[in-house]
Amino acid sequence: MKPFLAQTEAQIEITHEDVDRAHDRDRVSTARARRGFPARARLLWLLIGPGILVMLGENDGPSMLSYAATGSKFGIGFFLPFVVLTFCMAIVVQEMTVRLGAATHRGHAELIFDRFGPFWGWFSMIDLGIGNFLTLITEFIAIRAGLGFFGVPPWAAVLLALVVLYGALISHRYWTWERITLAAAVFNLIFVPVALMTHPSWHSVGHAFITWQPLPGFNKDTLLIVLADIGATVTPWMLFFQQSATVDKGMTTKDIRFGRIDTVVGAALASTAAVATILATAPLFAHQMSADNFQAAEFAQALQPIIGRLGASLFALGMVEAGIVAAITISTSSAYAFGEVAHKPHSLNLPMGEGKSFYAVLSFCAAAAAAIVLIPNLPLVYVVLVVNVVAVLAMPPALVFLFMLVNDKEIMGDLVSPVWANVLSTAVVLILTAAGILFGISVIAPNLFAALGGK
């Protein structure tokens, strides 16, 4: 990094982005200087956002469909506590991005570029972009299918989603964009009343959380659901988004504690919605209805005889919300990564004229994915499960970069990961790698998989 005195006049020019971020920081400083509960509550309100957004954003169309497929295929049992465990894994991973962003004031892709060289910087950005684009396609499929429950034609559903996505950018202010997206993200909890309408057996729910029983059979289908549910919770785009959003929000090392609270609250809300989705579709398992027969709208249609038109409508709207929020956050993470690696302006505080490349990448990714979704007869459930599996397989390399960065004393100083955090993050990498290897064996060498106990 160049010394401050060696910077050119252009490099230290105060920009529109700097002014907006300084205004946000002034409000934080004012709240921090005051005493009492109201001031602390306001400070928390000002600093939360990236953690809740990344967790509820990951409860996207493919994720909620994975949870719906889980409930309809396996009912109440092992997967309830397992999904909560995956969100605990996500907390471990995302907390590291908070520290990295607050300590370095740089996005994830930019740090990889600077510390490991241009090749790995561009490699990580392109790898993220491909994964994000595939996921964006499934977000718009979920939106189209969810609104299809209400008879909305595909082109109108996709257009509505794009209007909402671009509408959130109009203010050219990170704070406003974040609050609009947060308001939409809270509707992810709509799956909770849907679950309650199915009148789940709370005794069975409690038994599942305590004993992790009944266990599903160890076979290829079970492994696919395991990987899909992990991929519904821990994915590469989350690393890039939360670190870049932490930087764009202007958070400093003083804010790390609030960033952790933000992440834990987001995980708690998201895991609640995920478990609720499994409970909502568990009656389909009880009625021996195969998940393979359903896509987003069909899940709602299948539930209608059990929970009525209102419950089915809420389920379909939940799928729409999940797709829209994820489309906003995932396309933004791609734009952040491109700007960081290409050394182009990359902030939601930028007006369109100053952030042309940032907004162009964001807009193109969303529009291209939306256009592909208009292709008829896409096999939704299979596609979303595969996309989540791809996310799991791409996660270990991303975690290795994260692990090395967060333990780099030169850039982190006293904020390097403690031993306990390294142990937990290593365990996450090993779990994801082992799951990926097992799935690969089940596909490439089914006889070996059978010898390991699989069916």
What is the rounded distance in angstroms from the CA atom of residue 106 to the CA atom of residue 104? 5
What is the rounded distance in angstroms from the CA atom of residue 139 to the CA atom of residue 146? 11
Each domain of the chain, given as residue ranges in start order, spans: 53-451
pLDDT for res 15: 61
Q: In the predicted model, is pLDDT for residue 420 greater than 90?
A: no
CA atoms within 13 A on the CB side of 35: 0
CA atoms within 13 A on the CB side of 205: 15
pLDDT for res 383: 65
| Class at the top of the CATH hierarchy for domain 53-451 | mainly alpha
Token code pair at residue 90:
């996500």
Average pLDDT over the chain, rounded to an integer: 80
Q: In the predicted model, is pLDDT for residue 224 greater than 80?
A: no
Please give the residue that has the higher pLDDT: either 388 or 118. 118
| pLDDT over 90, % of the chain | 15
What is the rounded distance in angstroms from the CA atom of residue 416 to the CA atom of residue 96? 9
What is the rounded distance in angstroms from the CA atom of residue 184 to the CA atom of residue 196? 22
Q: Looking at residues 285-309, what average pLDDT do you find?
A: 67
Find tokens 């909890």 and name the residue: 189
CB-based contact 49:233 (threshold 8 Å): no
- CA 148 to chain centroid, in Å, comes to 24
Secondary structure (DSSP) of 115-181: HH-HHHHHHHHHHHHHHHHHHHHHHHHHHHHHHHTTT--HHHHHHHHHHHHHHTTTT--HHHHHHHH
Q: In the predicted model, is pLDDT for residue 381 greater than 80?
A: no
Residue 279 pLDDT class (50, 70, 90 cuts): very high
pLDDT for res 403: 86
What is the rounded distance in angstroms from the CA atom of residue 93 to the CA atom of residue 422? 10
Q: In the predicted model, is pLDDT for residue 450 greater than 70?
A: no
Q: First and final CA of the chain: distance in angstroms? A: 54
Q: In the predicted model, is pLDDT for residue 25 greater than 80?
A: no
What is the rounded distance in angstroms from the CA atom of residue 246 to the CA atom of residue 103? 10
Closest to 84 (Cα-Cα) out of 258, 235, 212: 212
Q: What is the pLDDT of residues 28-46, one digit of tens each?
A: 667 666 777 777 788 778 8
289: phi then psi, degrees, rounded to nearest 5: -105, 120
pLDDT for res 452: 57
Q: What is the pLDDT of residues 54-87, one digit of tens each?
A: 998 888 877 888 888 888 888 899 999 999 999 9
368-395 b/e with 16+ CB inside 10 Å = b?
A: ebbeebeeeebebbebbbbbbbbbbbbb
Closest to 180 (Cα-Cα) out of 167, 196, 195: 167
Please give the residue that has the higher pLDDT: either 268 or 143. 268
pLDDT for res 384: 61
Q: Looking at residues 273-282, what average pLDDT do you find?
A: 92
CB within 8 Å of 45: residues ≥ 6 apart:
none
Please give the residue that has the higher pLDDT: either 30 or 201. 201
What is the rounded distance in angstroms from the CA atom of residue 206 to the CA atom of residue 77? 9
Q: In the predicted model, is pLDDT for residue 265 greater than 50?
A: yes
pLDDT for res 55: 92
List Cα–Cα distances, 388 to 324, 357, 428, in angstroms: 17, 28, 17
Residue 272 pLDDT class (50, 70, 90 cuts): very high
CB-based contact 345:354 (threshold 8 Å): yes
Please give the residue that has the higher pLDDT: either 11 or 8. 11
Q: How many CB atoms lie within 10 A of CB 81?
A: 16
pTM beyond 0.85: the answer is no
Dihedral angle computed from the Cα positions of residues 51, 53, 55 and 56, in that order, rounded to the nearest 10 degrees: 150
Tell me the Cα Rg of the chain: 22
- CA 202 to chain centroid, in Å, comes to 29
pLDDT for res 443: 62
